[in-house]
Structure 1
Amino acid sequence: MNNARQIKHLYSRAGFGIRFKELYGHENASVKKNVKELFKNAEADQHIAVITENIDLRPKANDPETKKKNQEDRNQQDKDLNTTWLKQMAVSDAQLRERMTLFWHNHFACNINNAYHQQQLNNIQRTYALGNFKTLLTAVSQSPAMLTFLNNQQNVKGHPNENFARELMELFTLGIGHYTEQDIKESARSFTGWHYDGKTSQYTFIPRIHDDGQKTFMGKTANFCGEDIIDIILSNKQTATFICTKLYRYLVNDTPDPVHVSQMADVFYQANYELKPLLEFVFLADWFYEDKNIGVIIKSPVQLLVSLTRQFYIDYHNPDVLLQFERTLGQVLFKPPNVAGWPGGRAWIDSSSLMYRIKIASTLLNAGVIDFTGKATPEDEAFLAATHRQQFNVIKRTQAVPDWSRFLQDIPLDMPRIQVAEFMLEPKLNQTVIDEVNQTPDIKSMVIQIASTPEYQLC
């Protein structure tokens, strides 16, 4: 396998793809050197600070006008937070950090009506995205967003709320089947007193509402607190296996390989849950670059939008269009469907979503038009005439401006068309794509067609 293909694959999984000029500046360097550079660039931790007010702290209002204004402000905060992060993913050099923040965003799925707390949680996930999993897990668990979402604010001595304790084990660490209902009850008692201050949005432990009695959890008995429960859960290697299985599906292949997952879990567990050694192991493993693992993962809607925006230097004069695309494709940032997050994989694609996905590239890059190749039929010509009339409306509505001159400048003048297509697609070219490439008169039309193929949906 040539070096360029390996590096392209690395950046499609550890980031949101690589541009032409970046690839041809990197292809002579070893994979090891590229992995090192990915981590070096990821040292930057650019916090999002677009939300400066916690609307929950406004004086309580009963009049309809004030309530309406508060809700409008909440909606605007949601939009600002969403589009700010999407754009940051598209332009940041810290690609690996943002890509892993997106992973943790889904792993620790959280949906609350408070953008201030959502931003705080997003920044926690970004800060520890490549750090220690125990530190990340504890910080997420003590965040106002998660304490609210999983009802631990209501978890008090004498009236334990089991919601957080259950999801901690089922979704965040061990997975179903590796704990008992009694373990849930006892750990819920241990997490009583975990609270946050509504005015400062900071975690605080409240001893008077903590159950300080004896608890028996996973065969151990003591006066456990929440931190003890997390320690016991992490001492069970099943936690490493569970996290590594999810990471394998995210970074390598939607069908986990038990041998490779076991190798990952060994590295993770022995490194005391440090994420950097685990990710380095994956990105440097020979099996990561096997043909069966290249171009086989369906891009999430956010990944598709970010990779298009990044590759074509798209500027959005109307950021709301990004939210419309997210809603249409089924992944709105900060609004997971439930506590388990988005299922991913083949769940991203059905007959209607695939049609929308294929149309998005032409909408953003060419006001909705995919040029026909070969001789157009009368029906094609009639469709095209109607489509061209609609172009102005599409431009006006989306206000998405790709920088074509910059994109085309990046492509070496002597690069054969087939090589351009190979660069743009992760899967190997099939005959249909090759025919399209050979029949399309100009490079811009060809690129739009390539971005409008089902193969472009894969990374």
Structure 2
Amino acid sequence: MANLKQIKHLTSRAGFGMSFGDFETAGHVTIKQAIQDVFTASADCKPLTPIKENFDYVMVDRSNPNARKMAQQKQRQQERQLNLAWLNYMSTTKGQLREKMALFWNNHFACRARQSMFAQQMLNIQRSNALGNFKTMCIEVSKAPAMLQFLNNQQNLKGHPNENFARELMELFTIGRGNYTEHDIRESARAFTGWGYDKDGSFRFRRFVHDDGQKTFMGKTGNFKGDDIINIIFEKKETAYFISNKLYKYLVNETPDPAHVQAMAEVFYNANYEIKPLLEYVFNAPWFYEEKNIGNLVKSPVELIVGLNRQFSVDYERPAVLMQFQRVLGQVLFHPPNVAGWPGGRNWIDSSSLMYRIKIPSTVLNGGVIDFAGKTDPEDEAFLTTQHNRQEDVNMRVQTKPDWDKFLNSIPKGLDKASIAQFMLEPKMSAVLKNSINNSTDTKAMVIELVSSPEYQLS
């Protein structure tokens, strides 16, 4: 069992946590084998396609109130379908690493799509490339209708360049601030003129509105198009460093170690931006398993919900409540606050969200009532009401079925209370929690107390 702590840490960072069902197996494999198993489990990628119909709310007759209302309901229904389909897949798939990285890339290329079909297309681009080539993903994302629409490149025309996409491409998606100039933004915006999409969401280069004049970008001059700009950006090692630094904060520690990030950047750049070699380097690095890097990251709301679902095989009688969970915790999939995405880290925690973070796990596992006062969304509230025909204000009984038999039976025989508790938590237990656990007489009650603790918020 010498490797158990390391493998448990690996699973929490390369996925959504380890269950007791993996306890025995983990104690008999090397860390190198465990790393290989993580990648093997995520080798295949099946597209998620809950949205079958392309619906464009923008094309609805706004002058007709009934048509407008029905269109809004249709749009919200599709948004819910996509959101819950991905949340459910993350909660059940064996390929945890792919979805954990897709969650990172989905926030890295933060985007709000007006059409759910476009959001679905963007998600599958990120999922299919999550462990592949970052440059390939960047090009595909840049040509996706969701991004072209969100950052106004559909309106980027010869003689009237729109700089939104060009700016965010460099500032947020690739090379980072301080590595380009305002002149570079203006020139690259000209190179991206003519990039657009058809009604069916297919990328289209509209040559007649493309600026085909000479452009000077990052010291190079030529008749550049968008692909040329991306190629030049990726020639710069600063791009590898920027992405490595962000990944370090996501996978290792919110406070980056410059030497470790630089080593990551060298691996990433020399691998021509292949993501898998970079992750393999991180997961094999001795510093990844240092004590200061274990149990130190605040779980995102989605990680918290998914981890809970996976650990206890939770079945939701009314899945729409998961939308409310995301809303009160501050992370609704496909609805980032802005183009910079969610800042993450300790920003996930405030006085309001912490209260819900502590309350939700015990509510889910104990079939309790949760008060969403001041946090409800009218559409979700109406949807929940129509599902069950009754609702007392915003106090809802979260009708769930955690598989307690499966969970309790998966705990290895003879494992004492302290070992059970420490397995379920990444950081060390506080003295108060340890004392409470030692005095507990019921395993189920003890487990509910564990998932309702501040320690459970950390991975």
TM-score, structure 2 normalization = 0.93
Whole-angstrom CA distance in 2 between matches of 1:87 and 1:57: 26
Identify the residue that residue 287 of structure 2 maps to in structure 1: 287
Identify the residue that residue 74 of structure 1 maps to in structure 2: 75
Q: CA deviation at 1:393?
A: 11
Describe the shift of the 1:419–1:269 C-alpha distance in structure 2 as closer, same or farther (beyond 3 A): same
Describe the shift of the 1:58–1:256 C-alpha distance in structure 2 as closer, same or farther (beyond 3 A): closer
Q: Does 1:277 align with 2:277?
A: yes
Task: Tell me the secondary structure at the aligned position of residue 298 of structure 1.
Answer: coil
Whole-angstrom CA distance in 1 between matches of 2:396 and 2:138: 44
Identify the residue that residue 373 of structure 1 maps to in structure 2: none
Q: What CA deviation, in whole Å up to 9, does each residue of 1:177-222 have, x standing for no partner?
A: 1110000000000001111111x21111111111110000011110
Q: CA deviation at 1:57?
A: 8.1
8 Å Cα contact 1:359/1:368 also seen in 2: no
Identify the residue that residue 209 of structure 2 maps to in structure 1: 209
Q: Does 1:398 align with 2:398?
A: yes
Q: Once structures 1 and 2 are overlaid, which stretch shifts more, 169-178 or 428-437? A: 428-437
8 Å Cα contact 1:329/1:353 also seen in 2: yes
Identify the residue that residue 44 of structure 1 maps to in structure 2: 44
RMSD between aligned residues:
1.7
Describe the shift of the 1:30–1:139 C-alpha distance in structure 2 as closer, same or farther (beyond 3 A): same
Q: State, as a whole percentage, how many aligned pairs show the same letter.
A: 57
Q: Does 1:83 align with 2:84?
A: yes
8 Å Cα contact 2:328/2:356 also seen in 1: yes
Q: What CA deviation, in whole Å up to 9, does each residue of 1:304-353 have, x standing for no partner?
A: 00000110100111111111011101000000000100000110111221
Task: Tell me the secondary structure at the aligned position of residue 55 of structure 1.
Answer: coil
Identify the residue that residue 170 of structure 1 maps to in structure 2: 171
Match runs of 1:307-456 below 5 Å: 307-368=307-368, 397-456=397-456
Q: CA deviation at 1:436?
A: 1.2
Match runs of 1:49-198 below 5 Å: 49-56=49-56, 60-61=60-61, 62-198=63-199
Identify the residue that residue 15 of structure 1 maps to in structure 2: 15
Look up the equivalent residue of 1:26 and give its one-letter code.
A
8 Å Cα contact 2:294/2:426 also seen in 1: yes
Task: Tell me the secondary structure at the aligned position of residue 295 of structure 1.
Answer: coil
Q: CA deviation at 1:26?
A: 2.1
Task: Tell me the secondary structure at the aligned position of residue 28 of structure 1.
Answer: coil
Describe the shift of the 1:292–1:205 C-alpha distance in structure 2 as closer, same or farther (beyond 3 A): same
8 Å Cα contact 1:367/1:395 also seen in 2: no
Q: What CA deviation, in whole Å up to 9, does each residue of 1:86-131 have, x standing for no partner?
A: 1110101110000000000100000122111000000000000000
Look up the equivalent residue of 2:142 and give its one-letter code.
S
Match runs of 1:248-263 below 5 Å: 248-263=248-263
Identify the residue that residue 378 of structure 2 maps to in structure 1: none
Whole-angstrom CA distance in 2 between matches of 1:128 and 1:396: 39
Identify the residue that residue 303 of structure 2 maps to in structure 1: 303
Whole-angstrom CA distance in 2 between matches of 1:92 and 1:139: 25
Count residues in correspondence: 437
Task: Tell me the secondary structure at the aligned position of residue 204 of structure 1.
Answer: strand
Task: Tell me the secondary structure at the aligned position of residue 397 of structure 2.
Answer: helix
Whole-angstrom CA distance in 2 between matches of 1:72 and 1:191: 35
Task: Tell me the secondary structure at the aligned position of residue 87 of structure 2.
Answer: helix
Look up the equivalent residue of 2:223 and give its one-letter code.
N
Q: CA deviation at 1:398?
A: 1.5
